[in-house]
Structure 1
Amino acid sequence: MIHWMMLISRQGKVRLSKWFDASTIAQRTAIMRDVVTLVLPRPSVMCNIVEWTSPPPPSSSASPSESSSASSTSLARKLIYRRYASLYFVLCISDGDNELSALETVHLYVESLDKYFGNVCELDVIFNFDRAYFLADELFLAGHLQETNRATVLRNARAADELAERVVKFSEKDAAARRAAGVTSRV
């Protein structure tokens, strides 16, 4: 299962994150910080698969017995990452999942972004984050790869774009008709 996906710039800024596990903001912040410090300094000749233990959830109590039980909730996971241009694409998968399949999943997402935007770059992800999330939603469902056909993903994304354009055109026509009729507000 994919627990989360992140796109990180070379400067360590998280450009996109998609979470499939329930977690608090504090947990997510700790995970992001941990992943950035773990993945970014790795040389390019090293393996793209990192065994990783997720940080324990933050505890509000100071009792040693409770803090030791909280540390036992840390789970062994694997980080699968790949660098494309100036972005690192990082997936966190369960310990028993197939690493090569996860690498191919990253590649499928990058290919989908590339075809959609036409030679995707970091700025495309920053300024069109809603489209990047939409493409991720077309590929993943509840932490599992749901669609492996890139053409289907792109066809659905383009259909959503066309629908959005039709809605905008309709609302512009509706607003023009209201102005022509002298109607200022809806009742």
Structure 2
Amino acid sequence: MIKFFLIVNKQGQTRLSRYYDRVEVQKRTLLESEVIKLCLSRAKDQCSFIDYKDFKLVYRQYAALFIVVGIDESEIMFNLDKVHIILDEMVLNGCAVETNKSRILAPLLVLDKVGDS
């Protein structure tokens, strides 16, 4: 299960946060600061999966933004390559460039057609 979703800049400021479990505001602030420190301190060649307390952090850097997802142990992400394609269609150099669902999914449909033939 996804616990939270964060978008954070390189300066450590949270730009967007969405929690799917009830978390008090004080705990959110502490959680976000710890998560941000962990992600910002990692080298680019290190794995994008971090064990943190009772869940895992999965993050990806796009230009000056870090997208961080907190998941529990039971969450397994399949088709990670498709997730990257979707994010690449939506975000370019840290800016949201596309929000139209059909345009975002168009490259995946092409890949599925090529794979079927």
- TM-score interval w.r.t. the shorter chain? 0.7 to 0.9
Matching residue's letter, 1:121:
G
Q: Please, which runs of 5 or more residues in structure 1 have no aligned partner?
A: 54-75, 126-134, 136-149, 155-187
Summarize deviations over 1:108-136 as a string: whole Å, max 9, x none: 6623533xxxx3535x59xxxxxxxxx6x
CA distance in 2, matches of 1:109, 1:43: 24
Aligned residue number for residue 37 of structure 2 = 37
Whether the 8 Å contact between 1:89 and 1:106 is mirrored in structure 2 is no
Measured at CA, do residues 88 and 102 of structure 1 come closer, stay the same or move farther in structure 2, by a change above 3 Å? farther
State the TM-score, normalizing by the size of structure 2.
0.73
The TM-score normalised by the length of structure 1 is 0.48
Query: Are 2:18 and 1:18 aligned?
Result: yes
Number of aligned residues: 104
Structure showing the higher strand proportion among its residues: 2
Task: Decide which structure has greater helix share.
Answer: 1
3-state DSSP of counterpart to 1:44: coil
- Say if 2:88 is the partner of 1:111: yes
- 1: CA distance between counterparts of 2:45 and 2:61? 12
Residues 51-130 of structure 1 aligned to structure 2 (within 5 Å):
51-53=51-53, 76-98=54-76, 100-101=77-78, 103=80, 107=84, 110-114=87-91, 119=92, 121-122=94-95
Q: Distance in 2 between matches of 1:105 and 1:23?
A: 30
Equivalent-residue separation in structure 2 for 1:26 and 1:36 (angstroms): 16
Judged with a 3 Å threshold, the aligned counterparts in structure 2 of structure 1 residues 94 and 152 are, in CA distance, closer, same or farther, namely farther
Q: Distance in 2 between matches of 1:27 and 1:18?
A: 14
Residues 1:28 and 2:28 aligned together: yes
Residue type of the alignment partner of 2:68: V
From the superposition, tell whether residues 113 and 51 of structure 1 become closer, same or farther in structure 2 (CA, over 3 Å).
same
How far 1:18 sits from its partner (Å)? 1.1
1:32-70 superposed Cα distances (whole Å, 9 cap, x missing partner): 0110111101011111000010xxxxxxxxxxxxxxxxx
CA contact 2:5–2:18 (8 Å) conserved in 1 = yes
> Which entry has the higher C-alpha Rg, 1 or 2?
1
Instruction: For residue 153 of structure 1, report the CA deviation from its aligned partner.
Output: 7.1
SS in 1 for 2:6: strand
Structure 2 partner of 1:4: 4
Identity %: 28
